[in-house]
Amino acid sequence: MFLKAKFLQLEADRPIAILNKEDAAELGVKPIDRVELTFGKKKIDAIVNIAARIVQEGEIGLYMEIQETFDIKPNEKMRVRPVSTPESLVYIKKKLAGKTLKPAEIYKIVEDTVKHKLSEIELTAFVTALYNRGMTMTETASLSDAMTKTGRSLKLRTKEIYDKHSIGGCPGDKTSILVVPIVAAAGLTIPKTSSRAITSPAGTADRFECIAPVALSLDEIRTVVNKTNACLVWGGAVDLAPADDIYIKIEYPLSIDPFLLPSVMSKKKAVNAKYVVIDVPTGRETKIQTKEEFETLAKEFIQLGKKLNIKVNCISTYANQPIGHCVGPTLEAKEALSTLVNGKGPADLVDKATILAGTLLEFSGKKNGQKLAHEILRSKKAYKKMQEIIEAQGGNPDIKPKDLYPGKKVAEFKSRNSGKILWMSNKAVDIISREAGTPKDKGAGIFFKKKIGDTVKKGETLFELYAEKTNKFNRAIELAHKLDVVKIGKGMGMMLEKLPEKREEHEYFILER
Amino acid sequence: MFLKAKFLQLEADRPIAILNKEDAAELGVKPIDRVELTFGKKKIDAIVNIAARIVQEGEIGLYMEIQETFDIKPNEKMRVRPVSTPESLVYIKKKLAGKTLKPAEIYKIVEDTVKHKLSEIELTAFVTALYNRGMTMTETASLSDAMTKTGRSLKLRTKEIYDKHSIGGCPGDKTSILVVPIVAAAGLTIPKTSSRAITSPAGTADRFECIAPVALSLDEIRTVVNKTNACLVWGGAVDLAPADDIYIKIEYPLSIDPFLLPSVMSKKKAVNAKYVVIDVPTGRETKIQTKEEFETLAKEFIQLGKKLNIKVNCISTYANQPIGHCVGPTLEAKEALSTLVNGKGPADLVDKATILAGTLLEFSGKKNGQKLAHEILRSKKAYKKMQEIIEAQGGNPDIKPKDLYPGKKVAEFKSRNSGKILWMSNKAVDIISREAGTPKDKGAGIFFKKKIGDTVKKGETLFELYAEKTNKFNRAIELAHKLDVVKIGKGMGMMLEKLPEKREEHEYFILER
């Protein structure tokens, strides 16, 4: 069948062609079926959408991506014929039916994912099938491998590559900004790629962007790492395991994360990491809430590492309150930089960073890793290394904490009674910070004056809320009054929760990379 | 935030608004999140899509449905604010996590489905969750009930309403066209709604449309039934259990059908049926292939019927070859009409129709149902009733089989050897018929001169292939030569299948209603 091209002002992640319902019936195709489009010497397979009004009989509606693929003008005729759906769909249906997939089948699905050959319905079926049916360790390894191989990879001179990852869920976690320069200052190579926030107030890429550029090309990253042993860049700019970003778009609205293991490990493999320490924040409101859950996950990470030739250590870290005092990109960057400049900082932040860095140092054969890490921080060797990294990434190496300003709108939240801080709610911190504007408004966030165990007097400031924009500021203030961010008690208060709750529920799901 | 309306030439099943990525970040929304749009006094919640190019910062791209909902002009500003996702999404996630849903939760999901509040990703998660996690009988009943209540229903004077349904899968099954007039001629009320073909060569609505109009309104249907005790109409035109059509759009590309039971029973409930006979074609290439599968399914239908106050009988029918001699809308209509006009026809067709009709007659207290049904057919009372139905639906009651012409392009397929017909492939019949143009080209199809058990001589015609259009005709001929439609042997050939197969695989999935 030959149909006249109608140009639609529309963009999509995948090639979509819109047929009139009469032509679709004539071709015998239904929505999500595929048609092959031919014009001149070019051919592509497009996903069928069907419309009754915007595309007339005899026309084919083309999204911008297809208009640009073909050198075609509006009203020129192109050949349209039904073709079978991608082979990978057979394997998705197989997984949906509860069967185990072979490595080549998984590869095909991931390949067709990154080539944008699959529709949203098909991708959702794959993601939910993995979630509902689970994966064998061999499937998980195949998936990690496929996600790495369908993207680019960072090739460095050395094979001894170290890396660090946090599965997320604890606000204020600026640990990477300390770990990277400590490890690099000890002579190890740590090409750290980070993500931007998905559901949290800030990702490491959002934080470090306040200090230096993070959207580097793969070539630029190689140059930076060859010069300084390290980098702190945004992984999303360089197509390392790009399938993950496509799956996240399905996982996010469904609040499920079956890709956690392959997502983390495929990105580590893409930078050819040989030794990886994985931080698993463990606490009441994080992904991993118990010792048992941690141990199960850690075992899986370690096993998966063996299959991928990566030596993995997992560390369960205390996550019942934010790390350090600050939450929000600028505030966190300021706190991390200040800790490097001074060689000291909040005890929890320093302890966590030196434990993680120390583990990597011990991988390299050094003794007393944490002590050594601490010494590198204290002696400001880590700060010097950070200056090198900032300069290599195109930033100003002399940037100081005072150069980092949070939002100009500030509200102080004071204690209504005296006592001890018994607990803090990460969930409330996340929700309020996002209402205040993070991660988009880098200056938004929260500064905590008190944390768990601190004594507080009535009228003393508990925390300061920062924002850049009036409307967000006001909404965040309102929310901060409603939610229990901080719980204060005389002595030890024992009640954690009471059901049924009367407060309104706020959606909360942690999906971080 | 206020954004300028940009009119997009786009239609969708659901309200979608496209934001520029900067505005989306500012609002803190991601794809599939919801925003509330306000203009004048009207408000609606729209599903968020995000674009980088077609919608500029400060603009909001509106699909045609939204443009029409608001009395807004291009470039006028509307208020846009993030709102939470529909409550039903919480229940979808609950089912996805393997939990059992309460009736009210299922109702909310189905209600939001028909109100077009759910995105494709969310609907897919629901459909695949039902498929992967299964349903309790209480859930299935709640789902059926919700699907009925979220649509319209047919209210008739009598409460004694009979109905017949086939779960499909056997080509050439024009049984309903005989069952309905037989049962109605006996004085019972049978308001038969049928579907068009989804994956098969013809649905009953496609077949009967060759004889009389089938796209009647609910009022027209009521008039026809009140006048004649019966009707034979297309259910898709009257919003009976409309959620089903939305779920089918997800089931089809994934080749899964978790909605079979609620789909069938919700439609029966929507016409207030009290007695239902369900035909379960059972054979090598149908949905239900074994006695055990039939018995399991039948038990579920019967139990579900009890919960819905519908008395159900299920009948497993032989389905290893097409019913009668013809496949394709016109050819089948002709064969059914001819059987009514003459009071007799192909033995398998007549046997099947009288068994099903007889079961309904026995529900009403009559004895020897099949014999009675046969007598009504033979005496042409069924034909007279059919003439009444045709006239009431707006057709010509004097239409004769000779008035029904199949496609003008005909190819005869002759036997290459002598012997007996050992088996036929329904799958091959379906695929070839669809390639020839069915169901869109009503005159396309196949006429079988020989069926299982018949003796055939070398050179005798096995079947004739009909089409309306040259290109489809040629492709269908090519396919008919490749596929094994009919298997001929001397005496009894024992081989059913040999693996690995060398022939190319054709996709085959039966999704009929």
Q: Quick one: average pLDDT of A327-342?
A: 98
The class level of CATH for B87-134 reads mainly alpha
Q: Are A352 and A175 in contact, with CB atoms under 8 Å apart?
A: yes
Judge: domain A2-83, CATH 3.40.50.1950: no
Identify the weakest region by mean pLDDT among A306-315, A404-413, B2-11.
B2-11
Q: Determine what percent of chain B is predicted with pLDDT higher than 70.
A: 97
Q: What is the pLDDT of residues A164-186, one digit of tens each?
A: 999 999 999 999 999 999 999 99
Please report how many Cα atoms fall inside a 13 Å half-sphere around the Cα of residue B188, on the Cβ side.
31
At residue A9, the pLDDT reads: 81
Q: Are A328 and A202 in contact, with CB atoms under 8 Å apart?
A: yes
Chain B environment of A33 (Cβ under 8 Å): 253
Tell me whether strands B455-456 and B419-424 are parallel, antiparallel or unpaired. antiparallel
Q: Are B463 and B485 in contact, with CB atoms under 8 Å apart?
A: yes
Q: What is the pLDDT of residues B54-94, one digit of tens each?
A: 899 999 999 888 888 888 999 999 999 999 899 999 999 99
Q: Are A326 and A336 in contact, with CB atoms under 8 Å apart?
A: no
Chain B residue at shortest CA distance from A7: B9
**Is B7 an 8 Å CB contact of chain A?**
no
Asked if A54 lies within 8 A of B64 by C-beta distance, the reply is yes
Domain range B162-241+259-401, CATH architecture = 3-Layer(aba) Sandwich (3.40)
Query: Cα(B230)–Cα(B213) distance, rounded to whole angstroms?
Result: 14
Q: Quick one: average pLDDT of A111-138?
A: 96
Give the alpha-carbon dihedral of B322, B324, B325, B330, to 10 degrees.
Answer: -100
Q: Quick one: average pLDDT of A424-450?
A: 95
Q: Quick one: average pLDDT of B353-363?
A: 96
At residue B409, the pLDDT reads: 96
Statement: residue A506 has pLDDT above 90: no
Q: Are A60 and A91 in contact, with CB atoms under 8 Å apart?
A: no
Query: Cα(B283)–Cα(B498) distance, rounded to whole angstroms?
Result: 19
A400-417: buried (b, 16+ CB within 10 Å) or exposed (e) per residue? Answer: ebeebebbebebebebee
At residue A211, the pLDDT reads: 98
Asked if A507 lies within 8 A of B85 by C-beta distance, the reply is yes
Annotated active-site residue A257? The verdict is: yes
Asked if A131 lies within 8 A of B32 by C-beta distance, the reply is no
Statement: residue B513 has pLDDT above 80: no
Give the SS3 label for residue B400: coil
Strand order in the sheet with A455-456: A455-456, A419-424, A486-489
Chain A 233-262, residues with CB within 8 Å of chain B CB atoms: 249-250, 252-256
Strand order in the sheet with A275-282: A162-166, A275-282, A311-318
Provide the angle, in degrees to the nearest 10, between the axes of the packed helices A347-363 and A329-342.
70
Q: What is the pLDDT of residues B260-312, one digit of tens each?
A: 999 999 999 999 999 999 999 999 899 899 999 999 999 999 999 999 999 99
Q: What is the pLDDT of residues A410-419, one digit of tens each?
A: 999 999 989 9
Banded model confidence at residue B495, pLDDT cuts 50, 70, 90: low
- Please, what is the average pLDDT of chain B? 94
Q: Are A393 and A232 in contact, with CB atoms under 8 Å apart?
A: yes
How many Å lie between the alpha carbon of B26 and the closest alpha carbon of chain A?
6
Q: What is the pLDDT of residues A366-395, one digit of tens each?
A: 999 999 999 999 999 999 999 999 999 999
Give the SS3 label for residue B300: helix
At residue B38, the pLDDT reads: 95
Q: Which of B33, B84, B120 sits opposite A121 (nearest CB)?
A: B120
Asked if B249 lies within 8 A of A26 by C-beta distance, the reply is no
Asked if A440 lies within 8 A of B28 by C-beta distance, the reply is yes
Q: What Å distances lie between residue B17 and B67, B78, B86, CA to CA? A: 10, 12, 16
Query: Cα(B318)–Cα(B296) distance, rounded to whole angstroms?
Result: 17
At residue B478, the pLDDT reads: 95
Banded model confidence at residue B505, pLDDT cuts 50, 70, 90: low
Q: Which of A30, A93, A128 sits opposite B96 (nearest CB)?
A: A128
How many contacts, defined by CB atoms under 8 Å, are there between A and B?
118
What is the three-state SS of B217-271?
Answer: CHHHHHHHHHHHCEEEEEHHHCCCCCHHHHHHHHHHHHCCCCCHHHHHHHHHHHC
Banded model confidence at residue B50, pLDDT cuts 50, 70, 90: very high
Q: From the candidates A257, A279, A348, A430, which is the catalytic residue?
A: A257
**Is A335 an 8 Å CB contact of chain B?**
no
Q: Quick one: average pLDDT of A456-465?
A: 95
What is the CATH code for B409-489?
3.90.1170.30
Banded model confidence at residue B450, pLDDT cuts 50, 70, 90: very high
At residue B497, the pLDDT reads: 67
How many Å lie between the alpha carbon of A272 and the closest alpha carbon of chain B?
31
List the domain boundaries for chain B: 2-83, 87-134, 162-241+259-401, 409-489
Query: Cα(B270)–Cα(B145) distance, rounded to whole angstroms?
Result: 9
At residue B9, the pLDDT reads: 81
At residue B501, the pLDDT reads: 62
Angle at A123 between CA A154 and CA A14, to 5 degrees: 75
The class level of CATH for A162-241+257-401 reads alpha beta
